[in-house]
Amino acid sequence: MPRSEGLTVKNLRVTTAGKEILSGVDLSVPAGEVHALMGPNGSGKSTLAHTLMGHPAYTITSGSIHFAGQDITHLRADQRARLGIFLSFQYPVAVPGVTVVNFLRAAMRSQGKELPAREFMKALTAEMEKLKIDPAFRSRYLNDGFSGGEKKRCEILQMAMLKPRLAILDETDSGLDVDALRIVADGVSQLRNPDMGVLVITHYYRILEQLQPDYVHILHAGKIVASGEAELARTIEKSGYEPILGPEAASPEALPV
């Protein structure tokens, strides 16, 4: 698969609220590969995720984003979603009044992936079973009163139904108990295919152990400062960021809890 089929980010600079958060990010996630993005709190991981999705609060001041052979730097979020980019939020928002079923139907319709009602319900029931989500959640309002882990599983349910070509998972593993983590990791693994790239943002080695990323990148102060194989994540798990970033990264605030 040529690299142009995946995601290519070049020298991306991004500001929000008048402050530069990303200061020249270079990153490629070819279709079919799983890449992990790690880095201390506040290093810009979620900012990168939101920028890739086209969130209007983040202004690209230079650089480019190419996806599936197209320059998407200036596309709106809905246009990017239609191209198959999916973001699982670090903090999924509640949408009272919109049920999980209706949300998913609308999301699929907006991406031209609508299924006949019966087929849709069959697919939804099957995916919910795989993710061990109680069928009663179909008629609950999206994320409204969901526990942290239920929200994260519901994000993976959306991904399973939408079948994106680039899945960005922003700390989908945070707050999951060990069983839920395995279910989510298995869910993502089952969806892996040669046409889909995955960018997993995480603080922990645990999920990477199960997902076996092709590459791990470290974001620090708005730049990718190191890239390597899965071993890099293990080093961080064992020794923190100091060996990679130097002593200033070892302050308690800079390290994941």
Ligand X SMILES: Nc1ncnc2c1ncn2[C@@H]1O[C@H](COP(=O)(O)OP(=O)(O)OP(=O)(O)O)[C@@H](O)[C@H]1O
Residue with tokens 């152990």: 209
- 42 binds ligand X, rule: CB under 6 A: yes
What residue 39 binds from Mg ion, ligand X, none (CB within 5 to 8 A, per partner kind)? ligand X
Residue in 7, 9, 21, 65 binding ligand X, rule: CB under 6 A: 21
| Site residues for Mg ion per CB under 5 A | 45-46, 90
Cβ neighbours of 90 (radius 10 Å):
18
**What is the C-alpha separation between 193 and 106, in angstroms, rounded?**
25
**What is the C-alpha separation between 137 and 9, in angstroms, rounded?**
37
- 57 binds ligand X, rule: CB under 6 A: yes
If the CB atoms of residues 62 and 70 are measured against ligand X, the closer one turns out to be 62
> Which tokens hold the place of 230?
């899965």
Contact present, 220 and 55 (Cβ < 8 Å): no
* Contact region with ligand X (CB under 6 A), list: 5-13, 43-51, 129-137, 244-252: 43-51
- 39 binds ligand X, rule: CB under 6 A: yes
- 59 binds ligand X, rule: CB under 6 A: no
- 47 binds ligand X, rule: CB under 6 A: yes
What residue 125 binds from Mg ion, ligand X, none (CB within 5 to 8 A, per partner kind)? none
If the CB atoms of residues 44 and 197 are measured against ligand X, the closer one turns out to be 44
Mapping DSSP to helix (H, G, I), strand (E, B) and coil, where does residue 15 land? Answer: strand
Cβ-in-10-Å burial (0-12, 13-18, 19+) of 181 comes to buried
Rounded to 10 degrees, the C-alpha dihedral 50/56/62/68 comes to 60
Angle at 208 between CA 203 and CA 211, to 5 degrees: 145
- 136 binds ligand X, rule: CB under 6 A: no
Compute φ and ψ for 87, nearest 5 degrees: -120, 125
- 46 binds ligand X, rule: CB under 6 A: yes
Residue in 43, 51, 158, 172 binding ligand X, rule: CB under 6 A: 43
* Contact region with ligand X (CB under 6 A), list: 35-43, 64-72, 192-200, 242-250: 35-43
Contact present, 199 and 31 (Cβ < 8 Å): no
Total residues at interface with ligand X (CB under 6 A): 13
- State the residues that interact with ligand X by CB under 6 A: 16-17, 21, 39, 41-47, 57, 90
